[in-house]
A and B are shown apart, each in its own frame.
Chain A
Amino acid sequence: NAGVTQTPKFRILKIGQSMTLQCTQDMNHNYMYWYRQDPGMGLKLIYYSVGAGITDKGEVPNGYNVSRSTTEDFPLRLELAAPSQTSVYFCSARGAGPNEQFFGPGTRLTVL
């Protein structure tokens, strides 16, 4: 039981490049979330999903896209990377109702 896994762990992008951050969970949880965390700051919600085929914007969605074709996978897409997207990205999953979130280890992204 791996919980929530994220790949890659680290990535350096050039301005304008695109990439997909992968997130997979094996807990069969319906709710999944993508956050970014800038140094010394809290978590900002980018996108979330309440089940396969259903996604919605969070607090800071601009510059990102998501899809949720299966319960297990919730990839985050950056189309035109910008230096402002340099951050640590966390994916999480949780069960129905008010419930604890299980986080992946994070992806540290630098855009130069």
Chain B
Amino acid sequence: GQNIDQPTEMTATEGAIVQINCTYQTSGFNGLFWYQQHAGEAPTFLSYNVLDGLEEKGRFSSFLSRSKGYSYLLLKELQMKDSASYLCEGDGSNYQLIWGAGTKLIIKP
């Protein structure tokens, strides 16, 4: 079957680094996406990996290992505005998009 797993909730301190993990099982694989969703708002795109390795975008980086079915999102120099849910989405075969339940990140001062 197709499945994506990520932790339900994480807590981190302002200024620190946090890593949010995502494991997936999809039939066919065309890429893995990370989105940020603030409470009461729509998701917005953060990053995308289709090949193994690390993609860096400012304070945010995403890593993918296709052989292990594993990805992580790394957030550096955490700011209070980073408090949000982070959603992992996998592109499977036949245009099917599979979403994780999201990881709620709580930033403490």
Contact = CB atoms under 8 A, between A and B. Distances in A.
Contacts of A45: 96-97, 99
A42 interface: yes
Q: Say what secondary structure dominates the interface of chain A.
A: strand
Contacts, number: 49
A105 interface: yes
Interface footprint category on A: 20 to 34
A22 B37 CA distance: 22
A101 B31 CA distance: 13
Interface residues of B, number: 21
B70 interface: no
A103 interface: yes
Given A43-B87, A50-B95, A100 B42 contact: no
A32 to B, nearest CB: 11
Interface stretch (B12-20, B43-51, B73-81): B43-51
B100 A98 contact: no
Given A33-B97, A45-B97, A48-B95, A106 B102 contact: no
Contacts of B43: 43, 90, 101, 103
A30 B12 CA distance: 39
Given A98-B91, A100-B33, A42 B99 contact: yes
14 contacts: A41-B101, A41-B102, A42-B99, A42-B101, A43-B87, A43-B89, A45-B99, A48-B95, A98-B91, A100-B48, A101-B97, A102-B45, A103-B43, A103-B44
Interface of A: 31, 33, 35, 41-45, 48, 50, 56, 58, 90, 97-98, 100-106
